[in-house]
A = this chain, B = another copy of it.
Amino acid sequence: MEERVQISLLLDFYGNLLTEKQRDIMDLYYNDDLSLAEISNITNTSRQAIHDITKRCHKLLFQYEEKLFLLEKYLQRKKIIGRLNENIDMLINNTIDEDKKEILNKIKRDIEYI
């Protein structure tokens, strides 16, 4: 996985464990793809401070992942959900019974919320 995507996902999972300022700066840097100089201007913070914050938060996010594995678990779950959907679609396409089809569609909707 590309590092930018990885950091963006880690921010989704652990962003709330950062301070609001840290989260905002990481968001501008990794999600909005702004340069350190641009973030420095927007936030009225020195370029060096922005650099230090992104570096520190980068490390923090990976430390959280080493402890809680939320990204790893999410990726495993995503894989399983893909397989589940394939199998359910196969059953839906091979079922004539409308009641059974309805139950299979219910199952599919529930899986979306897992």
Contact = CB atoms under 8 A, between A and B. Distances in A.
Given A88-B107, A104-B91, A107-B87, A114 B80 contact: yes
Interface string A82-93: 011001101100
A77 B106 CA distance: 15
A33 to B, nearest CB: 26
Interface in A67-111: 67-68, 70, 76-77, 80-81, 83-84, 87-88, 90-91, 94-95, 100, 103-104, 106-107, 110-111
A interface secondary structure, majority: helix
B103 A90 contact: yes
Contacts of A104: 91
Contacts of A64: 17
B16 A67 contact: yes
Interface residues of A, number: 29
30 contacts: A13-B68, A14-B68, A16-B67, A16-B68, A17-B67, A17-B68, A68-B70, A70-B70, A76-B113, A77-B114, A80-B110, A80-B113, A80-B114, A81-B114, A84-B107, A84-B110, A84-B111, A87-B103, A87-B106, A87-B107, A87-B110, A88-B107, A90-B103, A91-B100, A91-B103, A91-B104, A94-B100, A95-B100, A107-B107, A114-B114
